[in-house]
Homo-oligomer: A and B are copies of this chain.
């Protein structure tokens, strides 16, 4: 079974948008052992779209189309697809009702241009969109089956996983394809080429293909296992995951959707412990990340965004003398911030950050990227200095991940390890 992915939109061809939908869709297809052979993108232009549809029908068995389902004039996918394969359009009553209900729910008028989104080619199967106004559809044409989905990633992802993948898998099954199972192992603190070197033998397993993906500041591993049965594929996958986990140990912090903050939340929740934060250079990012996890009120109490020195003093009790003597970006201040947050909020643990994110504010002694992180807990407080080499936003992101990873290792009672790819002044071990 050959797959083609077509994405539609002028903005793609102008290069305004990095088109991540194509890789998303191909990844999901690969999980059911369907291989994408062609990617293409065309303008919101009926002639080019027609041409792309005809060509895809000729060379592929399944064609995923993303974009062009919106309410505006330049959203032409359904109309052009119908015309390409000689179908009339008719209004799909359940979609009209659902769309009207959607607008009622959000308290908006339904405009005539939205009405357009309820018309579909005769004979297609409409795919509902629970998170947006644009339903999708499945249509057979020219010997291939087309799946049209919205271009908005969150809508696309849901429609792909819930409605398209099962339909494609069912069709792929009929052509006798094998079963595929995959996982994501999330690592922090090791570079991609080191990962590749360490896992060379595992990557060459005949049943498992090992992919790598960098999602700053993490590196994700993606083992994809194949088998003649579902159970066989799952067994190959588990075997590979265990081998990788044994090799990498605590460098892996989570699996599949488990983010670093979810891992920490789970660990704290299991222990019935709580956390507070005291953030200077990260400005709120620690708390924002922790509270992105549903149910985080069970372990997150709160904290202080202590950006100005006055706030460090008044809200966290950092002595003015420490700030005067050592400066805000220093070990004593990082320690006092974490201890102040822990005491005032009354949590089991507290993390603090204070640093110079850049692009300005660096000195010879404390260059841009210098960050002190402290972790206060029942056994006392530890602090560590880092010098990160990235830009402002990345310095902040890696600071947060580093602080979380540190807490994770502390909770798991495994040694702290500083990322192998960081330029560090090791002030540790006292």
Contact = CB atoms under 8 A, between A and B. Distances in A.
Contacts of A303: 284, 304-305, 311
Contact of A41 (B14, B24, B40, B277): B40
A315 B314 CA distance: 10
Interface in A116-156: 131, 152, 154
Given A284-B303, A301-B310, A344-B314, A37 B15 contact: no
A71 B193 contact: yes
A251 to B, nearest CB: 16
Contacts of A315: 302, 304, 315, 344-345
A15 B11 contact: no
Interface in A12-65: 12-20, 22-30, 35-43, 48
A308 B304 contact: no
A424 B396 CA distance: 35
A43 to B, nearest CB: 6
Given A106-B423, A345-B311, A359 B23 contact: no
Given A13-B39, A108-B420, A305-B304, A287 B283 contact: yes
A23 B30 contact: no
Contacts of A212: 16, 72
Name the prevailing secondary structure of the A interface residues. Answer: mixed
Contact of A13 (B26, B214, B307, B360): B26
A300 B43 CA distance: 44
B301 A311 contact: yes
A282 interface: yes
Interface stretch (A83-91, A163-171, A288-296, A372-380): A288-296
A294 B360 CA distance: 8
A425 B41 CA distance: 43
A325 interface: no
Interface string A196-214: 1100000000000001111
A320 interface: no
Contacts of A108: 191, 420-421
A283 B294 contact: no
A302 B307 contact: yes
B12 A16 contact: no
B305 A283 contact: no
A294 B193 contact: no
A281 B394 CA distance: 24
A331 interface: no
A72 B422 CA distance: 20
A246 interface: no
Given A20-B18, A72-B196, A302 B304 contact: yes
Contact of A73 (B196, B222, B291, B420): B196
Interface string A262-302: 00000000000000010101111111111110111100111
Nearest to A55: B55
A22 B24 contact: no
A80 B396 CA distance: 38
A40 to B, nearest CB: 4
A238 interface: no
Given A16-B222, A108-B191, 7 more contacts: A14-B36, A15-B24, A38-B41, A283-B287, A284-B303, A292-B393, A315-B345
16 contacts: A13-B38, A14-B224, A15-B23, A15-B26, A15-B36, A19-B23, A39-B41, A72-B192, A72-B196, A105-B389, A106-B422, A277-B284, A284-B284, A284-B287, A292-B393, A315-B345
Top 8 nearest A-B pairs (CB, nearest first) are A283-B291, A284-B287, A284-B284, A15-B26, A15-B27, A302-B311, A107-B423, A39-B41
